[in-house]
Chain A
Amino acid sequence: MVESSREMPTSSDRNSAPEPATTGHSWDGIEEYNKPLPKWWLYVLYATIVWSIGYYVFYPSWPWANGYLRGVLGYNQRVELEQTMVAAREAQGALLASIDAAELPEIQADPDLRTFAVAGGKTAFADNCAPCHGPGGGGQVGYPSLADDDWIWGGSLEEIHQTLLYGVRFGHDESRISEMPAFGAMLERAEINAVAEYVLSLSGQDHDAAMVEEGSAVFADNCAACHGEKGDGIRELGAPSLADSIWLYGGDKNSIVRQVTQPRHGVMPAWIDRLDPVTIKMLTVYVHSLGGGE
């Protein structure tokens, strides 16, 4: 017996119990006490093993000939998700019905309906609109920003709703349509150059002042009918303002020359055939909320 091997040595040790037995193992003279674990502890281990069998019985477990063992509960996370989704839809039912029944300004005026519509519209926007208009409606070249204060077809609730329902240049009877002629075949290169300089001047950008007068004349003859005499656009015709800082296809000279010569035209689908009316209403309220709503 080695005195120093006692744990928690105290002066009371002289009366201590006899040295506990060892496991009989000795490594470099170091022996291991045998301090037996209580049997119930071992039984708890067995009990957990038995408990685990329950999982095999009740829950999906092993791969099997016909796919996998499904377990007697038939539990399935996908089914659970579907049930959760159905329950969520039911919970939303009353609000969805209210949105269906209400006019757009009524939705806008009711804080609860508006909050719900913005949240629902946000999800629908991410699924359907964000690929072109960007998450949050920031837009990109060729796809207008929905968050700014410049609208090609109008930024009121009604106008946004109209655009969403029938799209732009989509071939639907009600689609918004505008088409800028390809002036490359109608104007001389110098005229296009001059009108581009004039358009640059409209938005206060650096330009060749000598060409403005000629460009102004070309603009009045060819462009003003749609874009307005001052170039600030005409919404009814879908002709964007050329006098502001927002450009669909770029505002530098090359971009302007290119658009005048061979215009590009974006297409937006008519969502009336793709989404339900309630979703389109929620989308309308959401797009209106992005910062540019009129």
Chain B
Amino acid sequence: MGAQMSDAVVVDNTVSAPGQRDQPLYADRVKVYPKRVSGTFRKLKWWLVGILLTIYYLTPWIRWDRGPGAPDQAVLIDMPNRRAYFFFIEIWPQEIYYLMGLMLLGAVGLFLVTSLAGRVWCGYGCPQTVWTDLFMLVERWIEGDRNARIKLDKQPLSPAKAGKKVAKHAAWLVIAALTGGAWIMYFNDAPTVVADIFTGSASTMVYFFVALFTATTYLLAGWAREQVCTYMCPWPRFQAAMFDEDTLIVTYQPWRGEPRGKATRRDPRAKRGDCVDCNLCVAVCPMGIDIRDGLQMECIGCALCIDACDSVMDKLELPRGLITYDTERNQVNRAAGKPLSYRLVRPRTVLYTLLALVIGGAMLWSLAFRATLDINVLHDRNPLFVTLSDGSIRNGYTVKILNMTRAPRDFVLDVEGLADSVMSVVGREAAGDGTIVLPAAPDGVATYQVFLRAPREVVSEEAMPITFELTEADGGEAVRRETVFRGPRR
């Protein structure tokens, strides 16, 4: 065993092909020049780019009246005041689980879509894809299509080249600044913060984040592009775990295309497949890969190669779909001439759907029955209890009433589990019938110092469990909180 081991760890040069060890460990980036393409999927993607960018840029400007004193921005995360608003929903910091629910829902939704139709998110919806599409569009307007850009990059620097480059980067920076500017509006009142930014009166934090998101947008969509998907994003590295034989993926159909070859006038069709090796699918690929190599980690499933290949098939008057969305199972079936079968209901799709339903249902349920009142009770620790001159025992509590509505409300506090106890609240007088009304301002936390006093003989234990019950004065919402009443050691 020992001998085997020592043999094994010796680097065995003989099994390696010559020259392999000279391969560099760090590679130059091969710049991708995607060619313009038109077709069904390109059209769909332009629509999505338009819709998603519109949503992103316009959402902060939607107004939503919440009454006086409340922000009238429909979607707003108000950090200084610790509130998050989404149209009719308003959440407090302790309700951050809604955000976690949204993230879980997003993750499970992503799993479901990926197991059904591959990397739809990557190809159509991901901000990296959307902004890269936008930046490439601008690039194409200024520098021309693939061949013109390749030529331009090879040219020595000239005034014309410099002009184009400056124009492109300036346009990119403007878009990036608008992106960064829009981001900050989700955290500030949009009209106010825009005015502040231009008058120079916004906070350093605002300028910092606008600059940060401007820089990241410019770098990621302008320069990094496909490198983000291949080397920075974790999702491509494990999305294959959601794939199975029934997942629709962008597929080159080798049984139809191979052996590929140029069509010649003498022998247009004989002894070869439909692929004419025109390389258009490679030229349009924003990731710079060859889809004919099969499923690859780099492929974001944007389907632009389908559009490119279809346009060639149309010219050759061959059926479309040499590159198409298909499942691995049906590729085998088609190659063997067997009937096709599609399976949408699979254990993983059922599981993902159920998970999404459970999480979504739980969130809806909790939102529909969301309490607009809460109470926090803190038992005073110093001193734990006070002995009064008549021998009775007094405990102090800090009671916080969370009024999560936009209206002022009055509450009455009761205590259970302590006989003959007398309650007093600092700064509040008891009414004739002994009740003490505790007002709570709209959308705020009212803090009260509550003293509870009980005769010595009632306090039978060192720590007696008691319950505070807070009820709206007009008998509306009620909430209970358990705590203890402490007395001397017996």
Contact = CB atoms under 8 A, between A and B. Distances in A.
30 contacts: A8-B297, A10-B295, A11-B328, A11-B335, A12-B254, A12-B294, A14-B254, A15-B254, A21-B20, A23-B21, A23-B25, A26-B11, A27-B9, A39-B28, A40-B29, A41-B26, A42-B26, A134-B382, A136-B383, A138-B382, A138-B384, A145-B387, A147-B383, A148-B386, A149-B388, A149-B389, A244-B389, A291-B386, A291-B396, A291-B451
B290 A245 contact: no
Given A23-B23, A134-B382, 12 more contacts: A8-B240, A12-B328, A16-B293, A22-B16, A27-B8, A36-B24, A40-B29, A136-B380, A148-B388, A150-B388, A245-B388, A245-B456
A15 B252 contact: yes
B40 interface: no
B27 interface: yes
B324 to A, nearest CB: 12
Contact of A11 (B20, B331, B383, B386): B331
A28 interface: yes
Contact of B389 (A21, A22, A246): A246
B389 A241 contact: yes
A15 B335 CA distance: 14
Contacts of B451: 291
B295 A12 contact: yes
A94 interface: no
A241 B391 CA distance: 13
B214 to A, nearest CB: 19
Interface string A107-145: 000010000000000000000000000111111000001
B12 interface: yes
Interface of B: 8-9, 11-13, 15-17, 20-21, 23-29, 227, 231, 240, 243, 251-252, 254, 258, 290, 292-297, 328, 331-332, 335, 380-384, 386-391, 394, 396, 426-427, 449, 451, 456
Contact of A36 (B9, B27, B332, B381): B27
A31 B13 CA distance: 11
Interface in A243-280: 244-246
A22 B293 CA distance: 19
Interface residues of A, number: 48
Contacts of B332: 11
A3 interface: no
Contacts of B252: 12, 15
Nearest to B290: A17
Given A136-B382, A149-B389, A34 B290 contact: no
A226 B290 CA distance: 105
Contacts of A27: 8-9
A78 interface: no
B20 A22 contact: yes
A26 B389 contact: no
B16 A36 contact: no
B16 A26 contact: yes
Contact of B383 (A26, A39, A137): A137
A37 B383 contact: no
A245 B23 contact: no
Contacts of A150: 388-389
Contacts of A11: 328, 331-332, 335
Interface of A: 7-8, 10-17, 21-29, 31, 34, 36-42, 111, 134-139, 145, 147-150, 204, 241, 244-246, 289, 291-292
Nearest to A137: B383
B293 A147 contact: no
Contacts of B380: 136
A262 B243 CA distance: 90
A82 to B, nearest CB: 22
Nearest to B393: A245
A148 B29 contact: no
Contact of B27 (A17, A37, A245): A37
Given A12-B295, A15-B292, A24-B13, A36 B387 contact: no
A117 B202 CA distance: 34
A15 B29 contact: no
A29 B14 CA distance: 12
A284 B92 CA distance: 36
Contacts of B427: 111
Given A137-B383, A149-B388, A26 B258 contact: no
A245 B391 contact: yes
A208 to B, nearest CB: 21
A205 B292 CA distance: 99
Given A150-B389, A245-B390, A291-B394, A24 B16 contact: yes
A39 B251 contact: no
A131 to B, nearest CB: 13
